[in-house]
Amino acid sequence: MSIFKDEGVITETFKNKPAILSTMAKLRKAVAYRALERPYTRYSKYKKQRFVRARPVCRVVRFDMGNAKREFDTSLHLLSQADLQIRDNAIESARQTSNRALEKVLGKTGYHLKIRLYPHHVLRENPLAAGAGADRMSTGMAHSFGKVIGIAARVKKGQTLFSLRINKKDLALGRTALTKASRKMPCKCAILQGTKVEF
């Protein structure tokens, strides 16, 4: 943004200003859904007992990447160091960054990366409007289950999030890839080498 003074009048010009301003729905911060809560997401054929109307589509594209049939020397595992919920968009983001780091150097067959958690838990929100006329828009706590807005994986402390099989010569690259994945997670993570986790 640049500001010009022209005869006492200040005018603003914006470079690369988009022609159409679109308003997208804001994604709530992950801290609102990080704590483990009671998984109360019953789905029943009876309308009075059914709370979840529709289940959102999982954003994680793939859970197995690389070559699953090939033998590798060593394995690395990314572990969670807290009890929390991780949304599917965070898992997908971590998958993309780690997979790209490995694929650029080793190709599509030089490793095997596996995601070890699945977002089953249905997240919801009960938005309450404030201000004049708000009572016509929201029902307060009358139907407090809320509206489904996404899904998340329930993770316990010490649980394996990602597992990577790789050759020993590429161990440094594997650690870098899992470190990149850990930065996308909303918790502290630890990387363990060669632990006995079945693939």
- Measure the CA–CA gap between 72 and 172, rounded to whole angstroms: 15
Give residue 83's pLDDT: 92
Examine residue 133 and state whether it is found in any structural domain, yes or no: no
Strand 74-80 versus strand 160-166 pairing type: antiparallel
User: Closest Cα partner for 73 from 110, 103, 35, 100?
Assistant: 110
pLDDT of residue 97: 94
Residue 18, in any domain of the structure: no
Per-residue pLDDT at 116:
93
Domain containing 39 equals 31-124+147-193
In a domain, 86, yes or no: yes
Strand partners, 190: 79
pLDDT at 52: 75
- Count of H-run helices and E-run strands, the chain: 2, 10
* Alpha carbon distances (Å) from 161 to 7, 18, 40, 78, 189: 62, 39, 24, 6, 9
Residue 73: the pLDDT is 87
Whether 178 maps to a domain, the answer reads yes
- One digit per residue, the tens of pLDDT, for the chain of length 199 reads 445 445 554 445 555 555 444 445 577 787 877 888 776 666 667 777 767 777 788 899 899 998 888 888 899 999 999 999 999 999 999 999 999 999 999 888 899 999 999 998 888 877 766 666 555 656 666 656 777 888 899 999 999 999 999 998 989 999 999 999 999 998 899 999 875 455 5
CATH of the domain at 71: 3.90.1170.10
How many domains would you assign to the chain?
1
pLDDT of res. 11: 47
In a domain, 37, yes or no: yes
| Cα–Cα nearest to 90, from 27, 165, 37 | 27
Q: Which of 97, 109, 124, 125 is nearest to 185 (CA)?
A: 97
pLDDT score, position 10: 47
**How high is the pLDDT of residue 40?**
62
Q: What three-state secondary structure class fits 45? A: coil
> For the whole model, what pTM was predicted?
0.74
